[in-house]
Every structure is written in structure tokens, then in C-alpha cells.
């Protein structure tokens, strides 16, 4: 993570680069201290992720600061952002312009990336550790994400969250990096499944199966094993159904593995069959996005 120089109190612009995170297996962990709540589990960290430019502006009305967030040219407002505005009381005004090749609310961890960026802006790029803590708290309170913040801040091609919570609040993560340059393909499934619905309807199954597969990934953190465990977990929990399985049958011999998280179908093709798999996935599901695993986490560039 890029450290901010001390005494930097006249920042006008800031560039934030954050990866996305698609968890494969997770267990929800509630604690009395919400900073220590979150999830344990394992997921992949991918790029390109979120690219955000923060432009600080002067507001003539300190009691009504100007705060605008645009994602791919459209203004947005999320529940976690509303919570951050209540958690952090100051008069900072800013405009955040964000770009990302992934949709909100599907399972890419994009809400967490936006939340981290917004929290950094509220803290005027000065107290990054505190900004990250508040972003995690807002994600927990809003039920938009329980493990994405720590994964996106620290990175790791495969991340294994061994203790829930925010960084500095007992949250612990193991970063696994591979020598192979893996390509990740994704698509979004046509199902209406928000995070709060997912937690409510599938909570019992998540609790029932999570420990087994988290332990299996810890025993063998290879990408192949992670994909196999995530496939079994997503099938048992009910993300991966027979309809999707039937569509992917023709591609199985070309794949290292695949799984579903929320609405996101994650596919890792064998290197020699990337183009063929890409075209087939795009034909079957209407869209196919291309990502790479990345070891990088949060990067901050001040101007």
C-alpha cells in the first residue's frame, strides 16, 4: 500500500487504484465490536479494478459540503457512502470520478472499492489507516461486504482471510501469489440476488459448508484446489445451478476451474484455449469480461 507523506495537508488531487475481489468461500463472523466483524474465507484479487480520481474543492457553505461520486460518468449514492457521511463528521468537499469495467451489486467487491475511496476522500488523504477502518465498518453496517475491504487493501492473487475484521482490528490475511500468469473470465448471471438477500436466504448453508472448504484451501492453496473448493461450495450453497452447469459442459475440458459468487460466474481457462472459451462464454451469457490475478492492493498517488 502506498504511504501518504506526513504533513501533506494541501492536496488538490489524488489518484486511487484498487483491485476487485471475488470471494469463493466464506464464513460470516459477527462480533460485538463491529470493527472485528466480517468474514473468513478465500477469494481472488483481480485487475483492472477501480480507478478513481479525487478532486478536492472549496465549498462556500461548510455546513453543506459538496460531495459527488461518479462511476463511469453516472452519479451514484450507496448505502455504505451514506453511513460514512454519518460516521465521519467534517466539511471536506470533493468530486470523485471513477472508472471500472465491472457492474455494481454483482459480487465483484466494487462497493467496497468505492467505499474505501470515499473514506479516503473524507479523510482528505491524510489518515489512510483510519479511512480503511471506517470503510470496513460502513461495509459491515450496510451489509454490502464483509471481507472485501481487507482483501482489496492488501491484495494477493489468492487471499485467505484467517481472521475477520478490519486491518488493525484483528483482521488477518494470507497472500498467495503464483508464477503463472492466469487469466480470469467473468460474466454476470440473470438472477436478482442482493447481498442482504443472499445472507438471509443462504445463511444456513454458508455456515454448514464454509469451514470444510476453508480448511481444504488452507491445506493446499493452489489455484486449482481453490477453484475446486469454490466450485463445490457454490454448488452446495445454491449459487451454481443445473442450468449453468449444462451450459458449461461443452467447455469443461478447456477449463482449470469455475465457480459462482452471488451473480458472478468466474471461469479460469487453460492458457491455450483462452480465445475459444472467451467467445463461447460471451455467446452463451451475453458478456465476458477479462481480468488478471494481481498481487497489488491499494495504491495512492498524490498530485
Task: For 83-118, write each residue's pLDDT tens digit.
Answer: 999 999 888 899 999 999 999 989 999 999 999 999
Cβ proximity of 186 and 266 under 8 Å? yes
Task: Please report the sign of the dihedral spanned by the C-alpha atoms of residue 212, residue 177, residue 155, residue 182.
Answer: negative
- Can you give the pLDDT at residue 3? 46
Examine the domain organization and report whether 18 and 82 are in the same domain. yes
pLDDT band per the 50, 70, 90 thresholds, residue 195: low
Domain that holds residue 222: 183-293
pLDDT band per the 50, 70, 90 thresholds, residue 193: low
Examine the domain organization and report whether 148 and 33 are in the same domain. yes
Domain for residue 154, yes or no? yes
Examine the domain organization and report whether 52 and 187 are in the same domain. no
- Can you give the pLDDT at residue 196? 66
**Residue 170 cell numbers, joined:** 484483528
Alpha helices (runs of H) in the chain, residue ranges in sequence order: 79-87, 110-122, 128-142, 148-154, 195-219, 223-237, 242-248, 274-285
Distance, in Å, from the CA atom of 15 to the CA atom of 160, rounded to the nearest integer, reads 27
Distance, in Å, from the CA atom of 267 to the CA atom of 248, rounded to the nearest integer, reads 10
How many Å separate Cα 28 from the centre of its chain? Answer: 15
Residue with cell 485487475: 47
For residue 8, pLDDT beyond 60: no
φ/ψ of 20, rounded to 5, equals: -100, 165
Tell me the per-residue pLDDT of 113-170, one tens digit each, with 9 for 90 and over. Answer: 999 999 999 999 989 999 999 999 999 999 888 899 999 999 999 999 999 999 889 9
β-bridge partners, 98: 52, 71
Q: Per-residue pLDDT averaged across 173-191, rounded?
A: 93
CATH code, 76:
3.30.230.10
Examine the domain organization and report whether 131 and 192 are in the same domain. no
125 Cβ contact list (under 8 Å, min separation 6) = 4, 8, 11, 14, 54, 300, 302
Strands 38-57 and 13-29: antiparallel
**Residue 281 cell numbers, joined:** 462464454
Q: Work out how many domains the chain is built from and give that number.
A: 2
Distance, in Å, from the CA atom of 200 to the CA atom of 283, rounded to the nearest integer, reads 33
Amino acid at each position: 500500500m502506498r504511504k501518504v507523506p506526513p504533513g501533506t495537508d494541501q492536496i488538490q488531487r489524488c489518484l486511487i487504484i484498487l483491485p476487485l475481489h471475488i470471494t469463493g468461500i466464506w464464513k460470516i463472523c459477527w462480533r460485538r465490536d463491529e470493527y472485528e466483524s466480517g468474514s473468513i474465507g478465500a477469494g481472488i484479487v483481480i485487475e483492472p479494478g477501480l480507478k478513481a480520481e479525487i478532486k478536492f474543492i472549496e465549498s462556500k457553505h461548510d455546513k453543506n459540503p459538496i460531495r459527488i461520486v461518479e462511476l463511469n460518468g453516472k452519479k451514484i449514492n450507496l448505502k455504505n457512502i451514506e453511513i460514512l457521511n454519518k460516521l465521519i463528521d467534517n466539511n471536506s468537499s470533493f468530486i470523485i470520478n471513477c472508472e471500472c469495467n465491472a457492474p455494481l451489486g454483482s459480487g465483484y467487491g466494487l462497493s467496497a472499492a468505492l467505499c474505501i475511496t470515499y473514506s479516503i476522500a473524507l479523510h482528505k488523504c491524510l489518515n489512510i489507516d483510519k479511512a480503511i477502518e471506517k470503510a470496513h465498518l460502513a461495509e459491515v453496517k450496510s451489509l454490502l461486504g464483509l471481507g472485501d475491504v481487507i482483501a482489496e487493501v492488501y491484495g494477493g492473487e489468492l487471499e485467505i482471510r484467517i481472521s475477520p475484521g478490519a486491518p488493525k482490528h484483528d483482521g488477518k490475511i494470507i497472500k498467495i501469489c503464483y508464477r503463472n500468469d492466469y487469466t480470469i473470465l467473468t460474466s454476470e448471471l440473470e438472477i436478482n440476488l442482493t447481498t442482504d438477500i443472499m445472507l438471509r436466504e443462504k445463511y444456513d448453508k454458508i455456515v454448514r459448508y464454509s469451514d470444510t472448504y476453508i480448511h481444504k484451501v488452507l491445506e493446499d492453496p493452489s489455484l486449482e484446489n481453490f477453484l475446486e473448493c469454490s466450485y463445490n461450495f457454490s454448488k452446495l450453497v445454491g449459487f451454481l445451478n443445473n442450468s449453468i452447469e449444462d451450459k458449461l459442459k461443452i467447455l469443461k475440458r478447456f477449463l482449470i476451474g469455475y465457480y459462482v459468487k452471488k451473480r458472478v460466474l468466474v471461469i479460469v481457462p487453460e492458457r491455450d484455449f483462452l480465445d475459444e472459451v472467451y467467445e463461447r462464454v460471451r455467446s452463451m451469457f451475453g458478456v465476458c469480461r477479462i481480468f488478471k490475478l494481481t498481487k497489488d492492493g491499494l495504491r495512492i498517488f498524490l498530485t
